């Protein structure tokens, strides 16, 4: 979120969804050389061991928000590394989902993104696809109501 100036807070890590190649996204399998460089960066800059991680790759299996790949913003780092950053709307989807389970800074980030009603409704529907259990949906509704988004809570 910081790379595209969505938030100004310091982050602890970089979450990698997958490897983008020829219009498709697959699980991130880093080469031994790349992993070695990540370890060197962690040691050099005092970063946590998993500062560059594939935690969110589960979304490849469960389904990315529609259009996510087309909305990526690409940045080049030297001659051998290109990173595609997810858009504001996709951040809203992921932050809403994370907010239900983890709260904290995910909720703060979600509110900082200032989602419009239609964006939150779309994000809520996608979030319910990720975890369609009644318990999760009840937590999602409750959280949305507590945040003042009663209209969204009523539509899921």
From 63, 126, 122, 114, select the one nearest 88 (Cα to Cα): 114
User: DSSP secondary structure string, 100-129?
Assistant: HHH-THHHHHHHHT---HHHHHHHHHHHHH
Rounded Cα distance, 124 and 126, in Å: 5
Do 19 and 80 lie in one domain? The reply is: yes
- Looking at the fold, whether 82 and 134 belong to one and the same domain comes out as no
Tell me, yes or no, whether 104 and 144 share the same domain. yes
Range of the domain at 108: 89-154
What are the pLDDT digits (tens) for 38-84?
999 999 999 998 898 887 767 767 888 999 989 999 999 898 888 88
Residues 24, 81, single domain; the answer is: yes
> Residue 23 pLDDT more than 90?
no
Residue 64: φ, ψ to 5°: -75, 155
- pTM over cut 0.75: yes
Contacts (Cβ under 8 Å, ≥6 apart) of 2: 8, 9, 10, 11
**Tens of pLDDT along 99-141?**
998 888 899 999 999 999 999 999 999 999 999 999 999 999 9
Residue 85 corresponds to which tokens in the numbers above? 């950053």
């Amino acid at each position: 979120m910081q790379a595209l100036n969505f938030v100004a807070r310091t982050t602890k890590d970089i979450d990698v969804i997958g490897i983008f190649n020829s219009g498709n996204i697959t699980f991130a399998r880093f080469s031994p050389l790349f992993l070695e460089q990540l370890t060197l960066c962690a040691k050099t800059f005092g970063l946590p061991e998993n500062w560059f991680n594939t935690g969110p790759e589960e979304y490849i299996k469960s389904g990315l928000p529609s259009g996510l790949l087309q909305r990526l913003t690409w940045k080049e780092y030297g001659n051998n590394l290109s990173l595609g950053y997810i858009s504001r709307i996709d951040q809203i989807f992921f932050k809403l989902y994370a907010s239900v389970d983890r709260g904290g800074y995910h909720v703060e980030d979600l509110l900082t993104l200032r989602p419009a009603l239609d964006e939150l409704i779309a994000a809520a529907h996608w979030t319910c696809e990720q975890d369609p259990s009644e318990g999760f949906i009840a937590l999602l509704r409750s959280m949305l109501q507590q945040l003042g988004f009663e209209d969204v809570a009523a539509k899921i």
